Amino acid sequence: MTQSKRQTALNIRLFKASDQEAVLALWQRCDLLRPWNDPVKDVLRKVADSPDGFFVGQLDDATDDNIIAVAMAGYDGHRGWVNYLAVDPDHNRRGYGKEMMEHVEAYLVSLHCPKINLQVRSSNTGVIRFYERLGYSEDAAVSLGKRLIPDD
Ligand SMILES: CC(C)(COP(=O)(O)OP(=O)(O)OC[C@H]1O[C@@H](n2cnc3c(N)ncnc32)[C@H](O)[C@@H]1OP(=O)(O)O)[C@@H](O)C(=O)NCCC(=O)NCCS
């Protein structure tokens, strides 16, 4: 199991304002930024709406800039969602992504959320394999969206 490759434990805690730079850099490094989404606005919206679902994973062995994982989770009263899950590529395949998702799931269960949904690009087969390892499966549904507030 991936845990055997670990050097240090992951401490998962809530995001705080001083984490913003590290979180944006991590999303950039994980290729999660898109021109139509302003990540600063995404952070501010999450903090304003439900900061209790905004998690960072920090390694035990370093100081403030040691954030290697992020996830944003939320419950809309029907389904739970997770967005912006990222683990630093230098720390992949050590079980940290799984640990972040287990934390997200425990958070959503604590809110009595019955099901979690998430979106992955169909071309992103590695990430799909990751979620399948965690028990996720493809829903018979097409994902639709409509922008309500442009970020530019
Ligand atoms: C997807 C991601 C979070 C996985 O993080 P990770 O810490 O490397 O994953 P883990 O080590 O916890 O892996 C858990 C299991 O999934 C498997 N897995 C992880 N990445 C995989 C990949 N690319 N292909 C196949 N299997 C993979 C692991 O082998 C492990 O399996 P095991 O339980 O049999 O050991 C990370 O690769 C990432 O941040 N990717 C870029 C950002 C991204 O696309 N995020 C998702 C947005 S929807």
Rounded to two decimals, what is the model's pTM? Answer: 0.95
Write phi, then psi, for 114 (nearest 5 degrees). -85, -20
Polymer length in residues for the chain:
152
Q: Which atom of ligand 1 is nearest to the CA of 1?
A: 35
CB-based contact 80:108 (threshold 8 Å)? yes
Model confidence over 80-112: pLDDT tens digits? 999 999 999 999 999 999 999 999 999 999 999
Model confidence over 25-39: pLDDT tens digits? 999 999 999 999 999
Domain limits of the chain?
Answer: 2-133
Q: Which CATH class is domain 2-133?
A: alpha beta
**Amino acid at residue number 110:** S
- Residue of 37, 128, 133, 136 to mutate, ligand 1, most atoms within 8 A of C-beta: 133
Closest-CA residue to 97 (of 130, 51, 135, 53): 130
